[in-house]
Amino acid sequence: MAPRALYDEELKGVSDRLVLMCRYIETAIENCVEALVNRDYDLAKEVSREDKYINRVEREIEASCLKLLIMEHPVASDFREITTALKMITDLERIGDQAKDIAEITMQLSGKDYFKKVPNIPQMSTLAIQMIKDGIQAYINHDLELARSLAIADDKIDELFNAVMDDLIALIRKNPKAAEQAILFMMIAKYLERIGDHAVNIGEWVEYAITGAHPKSV
């Protein structure tokens, strides 16, 4: 196999693993929020336990990227693409950690009646999952417009986060006994808001891979 064909095949392997990592993370976010809504301790525990699979794929991608950098001597555009993959897995791994954190808070809440439902939390998770998918898709397809759209999508998550906070602060003022539970919900909303921020980071690194300029350095 010609050197370029071999390089392209190995880079495709990185993309395939990024898609796999995205799927693990998508499932983790969906399950931790479902566990929260249904007060499902076992499902939350499963999310916490399966974080190891996300970490494993991260290590595999990192090893592949380092091999490409060391062995293949990539040209500038290829170098940017590999560097972007390395930056993306850092954000993806942190997203996985935040899904695990939500699951662990959910385990604290399981078996307890909620003082108030928080409908914006599932909406936040749905938006966050789509942002992660879009970030990976933008990387694979070199889609600059899609990469830049993540910052706009994050504005909606921020709006929902602010709505959750306002709702929970009002709950605490009305019923101080709900304070401990409300604070846990606030922490969950904050983790989802941070997931949105990490997805924006992914979009910015994709923009760097495509254009050679990171938006925050311009």
Residue 75 has phi, psi (to 5 degrees) of -75, 175
Express as a percent the part of the chain with pLDDT over 90.
77
The confidence score (pLDDT) of residue 8 equals: 77
Local structure of residue 176 (DSSP, 8 states): G
Q: How many helices (H) and strands (E) does the chain have?
A: 7, 0
**What average pLDDT does the chain have?**
91
Q: Which residue has the tokens 């699979």?
A: 53
The confidence score (pLDDT) of residue 216 equals: 78
Q: Which residues, 6+ apart, have CB-to-CB distance to 95 below 8 Å?
A: 25, 29, 132, 195, 198, 199
Q: What are the pLDDT digits (tens) for 165-189?
A: 999 999 999 999 999 999 999 999 9
**How far is residue 11 from each of residues 19, 24, 56, 82, 117, measured CA to CA in Å?**
13, 20, 18, 8, 45
Total count of domains within the chain: 1
The confidence score (pLDDT) of residue 3 equals: 61
The two structure tokens encoding residue 125: 């998770």
Is residue 217 pLDDT above 70, yes or no?
Answer: no
CATH of the domain at 44: 1.20.58.220
**Residues 5, 8: Cα–Cα separation, whole Å:** 5
Domain that holds residue 212: 3-217
Q: What are the pLDDT digits (tens) for 104-153?
A: 999 998 878 898 887 799 999 999 999 999 999 999 999 999 999 999 99
